[in-house]
Amino acid sequence: MSKLYLVPTPIGNLEDITLRAIRVLKEVDGILAEDTRTSGNLLKHLEISKPMTAFHIRNEHLVVERIADRIEAGETLALVTDAGTPAISDPGFLLVRECVKRNIEVECLPGPTAFVPALVNSGLPAEKFIFEGFLPHKKGRQTKLREVADYPYTTILYESPFRLLKTLEQLAEVCGTNRKVCVSRELTKIHEENARGTLAEVMEHFSKKEIKGEIVIVLEGATTMTKKNTLSENDDLED
């Protein structure tokens, strides 16, 4: 029976691919890839040869119906992104929605995703959390930052290394410099780093080095005390 598989791929360390993911990639008729070059390197490493179709943020809304048609016609396809689980700050949602609409079977494999290890090793409460993904670059950014500052639970953000310091500075402006944070980069790779401390301490740490790798920011949730501290800091800045 034809279906769509969502197959997580390693976020860095190639050993993190599961045996089940390898089997599915070997068995499907074709692979939908965010970047066929990146996925091609992974498939070469796994010694898998399958036809690939580009499926990325710039074309997904144009090809969703065509791909769903292929599955309805009898093909079984796997969707992979450059790293991690499809549809988590990556393409995938539109295709899953279309398949569900058409009663096409969808199966998502468990596997790598960046925010879970970043959250768990942050040392911040993990029983409840909010995943925001990437902040808006321009329109709505300040509004979203103020929302994040007031969230009562640990909040997870994705960021590029080029915008990390700017984002930490903006978070400090709305949360106060004493809010706790953990910044994880290069997760699962040989140079993995988890920088923990207050926003002020972590900003100072990264201001002294070249920043590389994908970034996950795990921010302490707001409490009555942190809100009071933020108000006090803002009063001091205004004086």
* Residues 115 and 134: beta-carbon distance below 8 Å: no
pLDDT band at 223 (very low <50, low <70, confident <90, very high): confident
* Residues 196 and 167: beta-carbon distance below 8 Å: no
Q: Are residues 73 and 180 in the same domain?
A: no
Tell me the two tokens of residue 137.
């670059």
Q: How far is CA 111 from CA 86, 108, 208, 222, in A?
A: 10, 9, 34, 30
Q: Tally the domains of the chain.
A: 2
What local confidence, expressed as pLDDT, does residue 238 receive?
Answer: 43
CA distance 46 to 43: 5
For residue 190, the enclosing domain spans 115-238
Report which of 165, 124, 123, 130 is spatially closest to residue 147, judged by C-alpha positions: 130
User: What string of DSSP letters covers 95-106?
Assistant: HHHHHHHTT--E
Q: Are residues 44 and 59 in the same domain?
A: yes
Residues β-bridged to residue 129:
154
Identify the CATH number of the domain in which residue 135 sits: 3.30.950.10
Q: Are residues 9 and 45 in the same domain?
A: yes
Which value, to the nearest 10 degrees, does the dihedral of the CA atoms of residues 49, 24, 119, 36 take?
30
Coil, strand or helix at 15 = helix
Q: Are residues 124 and 77 in the same domain?
A: no
What's the alpha-carbon Rg for the chain, to the nearest Å? 20
For the entire predicted model, the pTM comes to 0.89
Tell me the two tokens of residue 193.
């780093």
Give pLDDT tens digits for 179-188: 999 999 999 9
- Residue with the bigger pLDDT between 232 and 150: it is 150
Give pLDDT tens digits for 133-179: 999 998 999 999 999 999 999 999 999 999 999 999 999 999 999 99
Last residue of a domain, one of 91, 108, 125: 108
* Residues 189 and 130: beta-carbon distance below 8 Å: no
75 by Cβ neighbours in 10 Å (0-12 / 13-18 / 19+) ranks as: middle
Beta carbons within 8 Å of 103's beta carbon, 6+ residues apart: none
